[in-house]
Amino acid sequence: MTRSTPNIDRSERTFTVVLAISGGFIVLLLIGIMVTLFFNSLPAIREFGAGFFIGKTWNAAAETFGALPFLVGTLVTSFLALLISVPFSLAIALFLGEYYREGAVSGFLRSAVEVLAGIPSVIYGLWGLFLLMPAVRYIEMKLGVAPQGVGILTSSLILAIMIIPFAASIGREVITFVPGDLKEAAYSLGATRFEVVRNIVVPYARSGIIAGILLSLGRAIGETMAVTMLIGNSNFLPTSIFSPANTMASVIANEFAEATGVTSASLIYLALVLFFVTMLVNIAGTWVIQKLTVESSREVT
């Protein structure tokens, strides 16, 4: 005879149900966000369909909406920002994860990076307006381009500064995962530290570093305030890195409050696209990092 063991008492069940409801609420919240975005952008989806992504004109008066300028604006600013930030974030990651793991200097650098990460976006924007914008304008004058100061380059610079701490902290983490015995094996063969970094550390941490870059790309794509303040808010396709432009996030920030009807639906359509792009980027990045964490913890034990 096997005795059925009621292995949980009633209070446990009630309590667990309450917890599960709270957790389930988060899932519902996310589904709610997707459904809301989808249904509210339906008028624009019906009207423009996939042509939305190749249309070059965004004109509220004519009710013609094409998102290409913003897609280009978003991609160019984000990738440019990545390009600028990668050497710096990689350097910080190597400094903290490989060269100086302990000590006052690395403690200072780490705190400083944390402070940098904690500064609100709107303050980056403000600072950009008063320091970066004049600087870029100066460069533009030297180069003989229309000296507007705001535009893709200015936004990319501020984005680069903003994502450095983020990418650096992920990079540091994955670099510390590199097993010590691998490095020791290389040292015992007479390798210099640079050779160890180049041939052991970076290849080993490569997928994690890429994931970190991916996650910071997600950040850059969704970043709103600083970009809105510095990109010049032009709804035309940018022609050079000095052109004023708009990203998906910045055009929403600029126009949504006053938008109605199909304009509003088109902006929500943009938000839907933004949501899915960042979602994919984040899931991919997080997945790689999780896999890496699991693997490295397995190696320790």
Q: Which of 94, 152, 205, 265 binds other proteins (CB under 8 A)?
A: 94
8 binds other proteins (CB under 8 A): yes
User: Which stretch of DSSP H or E encloses residue 59?
Assistant: strand 58-59
The SS3 call for residue 232 is strand
Q: Is residue 223 within 8 Å of residue 159, measured between CB atoms?
A: yes
Least distance between other proteins and beta carbon 174 (Å): 16
The SS3 call for residue 246 is coil
CA distances (Å), origin 22, targets 18, 33, 35: 6, 17, 20
Q: Which of 122, 141, 146, 294 binds other proteins (CB under 8 A)?
A: 122
166 binds other proteins (CB under 8 A): no
Determine the size of the site formed for other proteins (CB under 8 A): 90
Number of residues that make up the chain: 301
Q: Which of 82, 153, 253, 288 binds other proteins (CB under 8 A)?
A: 253
Q: Which of 71, 92, 213, 245 binds other proteins (CB under 8 A)?
A: 92
Query: How far is C-alpha 112 from the chain's CA centre?
Result: 20
Short-list 248, 78, 251, 93, CA closest to 163:
78
Q: Which of 201, 225, 231, 292 binds other proteins (CB under 8 A)?
A: 225
Burial class (CB in 10 A: 0-12, 13-18, 19+), 165: buried
- Residue 19 or 54: the one with the smaller Cβ distance to other proteins is 19
Amino acid (one-letter) located at 72:
V
> Any idea what DSSP says for residue 236?
S
CA distances (Å), origin 51, targets 54, 245, 269: 5, 20, 12
Q: Which of 42, 54, 83, 112 binds other proteins (CB under 8 A)?
A: 112
Q: Which of 123, 141, 185, 294 binds other proteins (CB under 8 A)?
A: 123
Which residues, numbered 10-39, are part of the site for other proteins (CB under 8 A)?
A: 11-12, 14-16, 18-27, 29-30, 32-33, 36-37
Pick the stretch among 62-70, 125-133, 176-184, 203-211 that binds other proteins (CB under 8 A): 125-133
Q: Is residue 208 within 8 Å of residue 289, measured between CB atoms?
A: yes
197 binds other proteins (CB under 8 A): yes
Pick the stretch among 140-148, 235-243, 273-281, 292-300 that binds other proteins (CB under 8 A): 273-281
Which residues, numbered 44-83, are part of the site for other proteins (CB under 8 A)?
A: none
Angle at alpha carbon of residue 233, lines to 227 and 236, rounded to 5°: 125
Which residues, numbered 276-295, are part of the site for other proteins (CB under 8 A)?
A: 278-279, 281-283, 286
115 binds other proteins (CB under 8 A): yes
